[in-house]
Structure 1
């Protein structure tokens, strides 16, 4: 199965590799935006009440690093491109397990590579971050957020392949709204997810990173199983 999944992942990337350039542009913007905010927080120029902007940036951007932002990604509501692609693949000798594994494989590879770039730029650009976190502690910090990114992105893939383009479109709005609500609640409580992970990493709290990666692994397995059942039962045209 894994050989077929790898072929699907390569095929998808070859078709939409230009979309990776757009992903890199988003990554560059996110790296600049978050680096400036991290510098402001670590240097004391930004008050703790402003840390919500870091949380919102991380919550929204991390899952996006696992996606190719090609034209298909912007036409899915009108043309229901993901459903049509699944319908086409079902006319070929391709198993549902291979389709799901290939999609998840591409997602994880993209997200991991992009996160290496994202956090690498931060670490190189923000001197205060290097002073707070040595390389080992920075790995804890990065792994914690990579785990979150995989967990959130897998949920998006479940909706992308499991439902019509219209349902997926409205789910994305609800998803972003919920991220905003969580960020607001944390801000009102005087807390910050990014600040918490920075402090945990500075204290070499590997448990935080392990828990995040474990949650991501469980999401890959759990949503993968649910997605297999969903695709087996769904209509590709509604």
Structure 2
């Protein structure tokens, strides 16, 4: 509990002294999630109407959903040019702040980011897509949303490891590799005659909030974050930050 308390104090202190930073991060999240929701909502609307799966929406969901676990601030966009995550880690360790607290802070930030960005993006998609509203009631759509958030958590475990164990340039390469894998998965599913988006809808419609797929992705997602966090803590002991 001490670790969680210290991590939460770090989260609060990051924005308490800089209200403008919080305002800009919030406004950018609204704009960015709204932009994504508008275009993804259009694709989903057409697919639900035709009931014919398209690889593009699978690629969007597989690649964008994990990014909802990031707080969209300057550090998130400067990691390649300024290696901002490594610099932040050097600063934290110089205070010194234990690696367990640093990891706990990152997990808390992910939960906050998924809660805000996920609600914004999937909420706006539901608002923009009249065919989604006609096809799924609110309870089914919540199950659909949580299913994809669970998947996002699975990949977030990887991103946390990339963020804290590698330099900005290597992090970029690894992130691109994840996106290529997402494209490959969507392609293979399409070639097999399936569609992840439509399958998720069917599971959510059939089971609602009792969906085995929803609970499965959520549990695996939480396990992924914990496993990768423990491994990251172990590896941080030997990482050269210079």
**TM more than 0.5:** yes
CA–CA distance in 2 between the matches of 1:213 and 1:13? 29
What's the counterpart of residue 149 of structure 2? 146
Residue matched to 1:10: 12
Between 20-29 and 137-146, report the one with greater CA deviation.
Answer: 20-29
1:171 maps to: 174
Q: Normalized against structure 1, the TM-score is what?
A: 0.91
User: How many Å apart are 1:188 and its aligned residue?
Assistant: 1.5
Q: Give distance in 1, aligned partners of 2:82 and 2:125.
A: 38
Q: Return closer, same or farther for 1:186/1:105 CA change in 2, 3 Å cut-off.
A: same
Instruction: Tell me how far 1:150 sits from its aligned partner.
Output: 1.5
- Residue 213 (1) aligns with residue 215 (2): no
In structure 1, the partner of 2:41 is 35
Deviation at 1:27, TM superposition (A): 0.8
Unaligned runs of 5+ in 1: none
Shift of 1:13: 4.9
1:183 pairs with one of 178, 182, 186: 186
In the TM superposition, residue 174 of structure 1 has moved relative to its aligned partner by 1.1
| 2:140 alignment counterpart | 137
Mapped contact 2:160–2:229 kept (Cα < 8 A): no
Q: Distance in 1 between matches of 2:76 and 2:180?
A: 20
TM-score normalised by L of structure 2: 0.90
Q: Distance in 2 between the 1:47 and 1:197 partners?
A: 14
Equivalent residue number for residue 196 of structure 2: 193
Alignment counterpart, residue 165 of structure 2, candidates 145, 162, 167 = 162
Find the partner of 2:104 among 76, 86, 101.
101
Alignment of 1:53-92 (within 5 A): 53-92=56-95
Distance 1:12 1:108 in 2: 16
How much does 1:6 deviate? 0.6
Cα contact 1:23–1:67 (8 A) shared by 2 = no
Render the CA deviation track for 1:111-150: whole Å, top value 9, x for unaligned: 1221112222222232322222222212211110110111
CA root-mean-square deviation: 1.8
- Size of the aligned set, in residue pairs, is 234
